[in-house]
Chain A
Amino acid sequence: MSGMNPTNIAEMAGQRWVGKVRVRLDAARSRCELECENGALVDVCAWLNKERNYSYAGLIVEENPSQWELRHVFYGTRPAGWVHLLAHQPLDRSTFPSISSQVHAADWHEREAEDLFGLSFEGHPRLGDFVLHNDRWQENLGPMRRHFDGSKPVTRREPDLNWQPRRIVEAPGAFLMPIGPKFSGVTESVHFLLESVGEEVIRAIPRLFYKYRAVEKMAEGRSVNDALLLAERFAASTAFAHALAFCQAVEDISGIEVPARARALRVLLAELERLRHHAGAIQEICESTALVVANNQAAMLEEELLRLSGAFMGHRYLFGLAVPGGLSRTFEDAACREAVQQAQSILKRLDQLEKMLTTSSSFLDRLEEVGIISEQDAHNYGLVGPVARASGVTRDLRKAQPDSGYDAFAFDVAREQEGDGYARLRVLFAEARQSVRLMEQTVAALPIGPVLAANVKIKAGAALGWVEAPRGATFHWLRIDDTGRVARYRVITPSFANWHGFHLAVEKFAFQDFPIILATFDLSVAENDR
């Protein structure tokens, strides 16, 4: 929508909901905060998401000493900026209106907040048994509450070995096929409930959070440097992106200016990670279709990119590089150029692989018109990343809100329309090419100078850091208290958004398509479970 910016959003909202919305503008951050009365919250959310084309980033709950603060974050394409919708309630009143009937992307955010904070969302159709599984945890534990001590074990229910999931499909011959949490060869732990009356999957319900490590809770009370370790390690297949989002939040709070060389090198590292991740995702798709040679070719490219990261950057998953204020170490210009040259030659072979795959009809038969997500569904569910771009939803934070140095470089956002497995594969290939293009530009004109801001001093405050991670938009909300420790850390990950919409891709397709759809959806369980 042209002409949208935080200023006129604030004006319009103020006029439309007179007395019900209080407005606070933060021009420097291109952000407006709308403090809504509970009665107006749902309407304002619906207006932003449906009429003003703002995407839903997520829900941030904070327990302040005297009241609850709910923060629904929306973002648009620059100059549309950021809109934060705030709702408050005294601590003894824990019911908020549910916005998920209007903004379906908020569905899982509200379920999570109910499970972990003990909040209630009026009008939400399905609360309970989400993060903490009911067969294991007692009700009303509220582990994210301030008074809950996360460092000690808690008494739990004895595991109910006869636990049965709720079934929805009722028809003659209907059955439920459970898969996981341990299934297949080397896979992440997740449980699927597939309901069917025969060949076709009618309902697919992923049961997640087997890997819940309570990263947000564990970060509380830690120093920024210690919390950074968590940010980097909770989903380490895209470690650099998450560490970067965390660091950007710290830098925003503390007013740290990142030196130009560090900004350029951060883009280089982020794109190297994207390229490596996409090669891995392509390999998984080849593996799911049992195309052995293609699988091995892609696997070799992934390993070569891991070695490239290890040889030039010191760690195969780029650990220990991003720090608040820049990077922990510098890289010589010559080494960067050499690394990019190697990436270019790997990309050439990736392009060859694409050509061969797109002429292999047995391979395409398994991907084409399978696992379709429509553009409307992708928007409603707030899908992000390559999955959304394969369905025509192209909002990419590198272009929409280029805060990490991307505005200095030219690249194209991949876009496909069909929304099937093949479209998702093509987006992965296209993005890999753009990543190398970006890497080439960063080394062509690397600024000279330090890579770490002088005098990094952590201040108190709160801010949002965001990055277009390889799997899509990720948001890290950080609040630092007066002692320099983390008071609240909220991680909103692309896999959390995309797992929510995953069932759409599986339903109406046959059982044998399931592993292929799963592979093309490029989901990380660790990133979702946190």
Chain B
Amino acid sequence: MSQWVRKGLATGIKTTRYPACEEKAPGVSPGLPVGGEYPEAQARSLVDLCPTGALTLADHQVVVDYRRCVHCFRCRYDATAPIRWQEGYEWAAASTDGRHPTRPLDRPFEHSIHILVVDAGDCGACLNEVRQLNNPYYNMHRLGFFITPTPREADVLLVVGPVTDHMRVPLQKAYDAMPTPKRVIAVGACALSGSVFGPSFVCGSGVRDLLPVDVEVPGQPPPPLAILHGLLVAVGRRPSASLVSPANSLNAEAAKAL
């Protein structure tokens, strides 16, 4: 057995320094399209290429609704003049839904939260990215984040998938079984908008149909660092990002309501 001890020691520390420093390793994130001013003809062709309605035209601006972006890359690879692309991974946003203003979890939770992960119809990618948070590169334990199998000791409910009909009852039961205060994080385009699957006779259009959502993490799938950012937003340790690009777009609210 000593070979494993030696192996572990010889490997050294691989963990990212995020959130203290930015993680710059290539391939940690697929990036996202950037909205804003584009020449008229290009803007129109970009909006036409988008299969999910994530890109819209408003006031001569291309507005990107990240909840609907499914990483098909058509506005990047198929366009004669591709859309601007941003690297980075701090994508998570605290909910600004009027019905449910989000407040970060209070101080006692800041450095210790237990997370219940529920798969509500995920394709396997988001779930796999959540799994990566426990690998040595991300090691979310160092930040005081722990996965728990039981709702009774969970502070945060992390939901992936568009919420299929068969998963509505288990999801609701899990939420009800959690003690307060509790927060819900919806991870991935499916959990935010239903993505390419919902709404339909068997699928909802995201977690919001069923539960109050506090933090939304866009992306299909969001890379591990984006999910980590979502957890940090939930405990108030990192600022929230915008789900719409450009963030200051006058029509941001209108795009959200789509």
Out of A185, A226, A239, A328, name the residue touching B78 (CB < 8 Å): A328
Digit string of A207-219 for contact with B (CB within 8 Å is 1, else 0)? 0011111110110
A57 shortest CB reach to chain B, Å: 23
Answer whether A233 and B195 are a contact pair too, CB < 8 Å, given A211-B122, A293-B5. yes
Contact status A360-B135, CB under 8 Å: no
Q: Once the chains bind, are B122 and A526 in contact (CB under 8 Å)? A: yes
Asked if residues B70 and A233 are in contact (CB atoms below 8 Å), the reply is yes
Q: Is B117 an interface residue (CB 8 A)?
A: yes
CB-CB contacts below 8 Å: A171-192 with B: 181-189
- CB-based nearest B residue for A156: B165
- State which residues 130-175 of B face A: CB under 8 Å: 130-132, 134-138, 147-149, 161-162, 164-170, 174
Measured CB to CB, the closest approach of chain A to B139, in angstroms, equals: 9
Question: Which of A18-26, A309-317, A384-392, A393-401 participates in binding chain B?
Answer: A309-317
A405 at the interface (CB under 8 A from B): no
Instruction: Determine if B51 and A320 form an interchain contact, defined as CB atoms under 8 angstroms apart.
Output: no
Q: Which of A214, A237, A356, A359 contacts B201 (CB 8 A)?
A: A214
A151 contacts B by Cβ under 8 Å: yes
How far is A394 from B123 in the complex, measured between Cα atoms in Å?
28
Q: B167, A310: Cβ atoms under 8 Å? A: no
* Alpha-carbon gap, A479 to B72, bound state (A): 23
| Interface presence of A294 (CB below 8 A) | yes
Is B92 positioned at the interface, with any CB of A under 8 Å from its CB? no
- Rounded to whole angstroms, the CA-CA distance of A148 and B202 in the bound complex is 13
Please tell me the number of chain B residues within 8 Å of chain A, measured between CB atoms.
Answer: 69
A 109-162 contacts with B by CB, 8 A: 133, 136, 143, 148-154, 156, 159, 161
Q: Flag the segment in A9-17, A75-83, A300-308, A499-507 that touches B.
A: A300-308
B147 in complex: contacting residue of A156, A161, A185, A359, CB < 8 Å: A185
Q: Enumerate chain B residues within 8 angstroms of A230, measured Cβ to Cβ.
A: 196-197
B167 and A181: CB pair below 8 A?
Answer: yes
Q: How far is the CA of A307 from the CA of B23 in the complex (A)?
A: 12
Residue of B nearest to A328 (CB): B77
Q: Contact check, B1 vs A360: say whether CB atoms are below 8 A apart.
A: yes
Q: Which residues of B contact A483 (CB under 8 A)?
A: none
Q: Are A237 and B124 in contact (CB under 8 A)?
A: yes
Find chain A residues with CB under 8 A from B125 CB: 236-237, 239, 317
CA distance in complex: A527, B164 (Å): 15
Interface contacts beyond A181-B166, A316-B221: sample of 20 additional A-B pairs, CB < 8 Å, sorted by A: A149-B201, A189-B170, A210-B167, A213-B200, A213-B202, A217-B200, A218-B197, A225-B51, A236-B125, A236-B221, A237-B128, A294-B4, A296-B135, A299-B132, A300-B136, A308-B27, A319-B70, A320-B73, A328-B74, A329-B73
A and B contact pairs by CB, cutoff 8 A, 23 listed: A156-B165, A182-B119, A185-B117, A185-B149, A186-B127, A189-B118, A211-B166, A213-B162, A217-B200, A218-B197, A293-B4, A294-B4, A300-B14, A310-B28, A310-B29, A315-B30, A319-B30, A319-B72, A320-B74, A320-B77, A360-B1, A525-B119, A525-B124
- B166: contacting residue among A186, A210, A356, CB under 8 A: A210
A283 smallest CB distance to B (angstroms)? 8
Docked pose: A300 CA to B130 CA in angstroms: 14
B119 with A229: CB separation less than 8 A: no
A526-B123 contact, Cβ under 8 Å, with A291-B4, A329-B77: yes
CB nearest to A280 among chain B residues: B128
- B108 contacts the other chain (Cβ, under 8 Å)? no
Q: Chain B's interface: helix, strand, loop or mixed, by majority? A: loop
> Whole-angstrom distance between the alpha carbons of A294 and B29 in the complex?
26
State in angstroms the CA–CA spacing of A140 and B174 once bound together. 30
Residue from the set A181, A213, A359 with the largest chain B CB neighbour count within 10 Å: A213
Alpha-carbon distance between A299 and B136 when the two chains are bound, in angstroms: 8
| Chain A binding surface SS class | loop
A189 touches B167 (CB 8 A): yes
Q: Which of A148, A183, A307, A360 sits near B26, CB closer than 8 Å?
A: A307
Q: Does B120 contact A (CB under 8 A)?
A: yes
Contact B7 A211 (CB under 8 A): no
Residue B248 at the A interface, CB < 8 A? no
Residues of the A chain whose Cβ atoms lie less than 8 Å from the Cβ of B30: 310, 314-316, 319
Interface residue A45 (Cβ < 8 Å from any Cβ of B): no
Complex contact A311–B166 (CB within 8 A): no
Q: How far, in angstroms, from A476 to B147 measured CA to CA in the complex?
A: 36
Tell me the smallest distance from the CB of B59 to a CB of chain A, in Å: 28
- Report if B71 contacts A (CB, 8 A): yes
A89 at the interface (CB under 8 A from B): no
In contact, A300 and B165 (Cβ under 8 angstroms)? no
Output the least CB separation between A324 and chain B (Å): 12
Verify B164–A212 contact, CB threshold 8 A: yes
Contact B77 A235 (CB under 8 A): no
Closest chain B residue to A226, Cβ basis: B51
Task: Tell me the bound Cα distance from A280 to B120 in angstroms.
Answer: 21
In the complex, chain B residues whose CB is within 8 Å of the CB of A150: 200-202
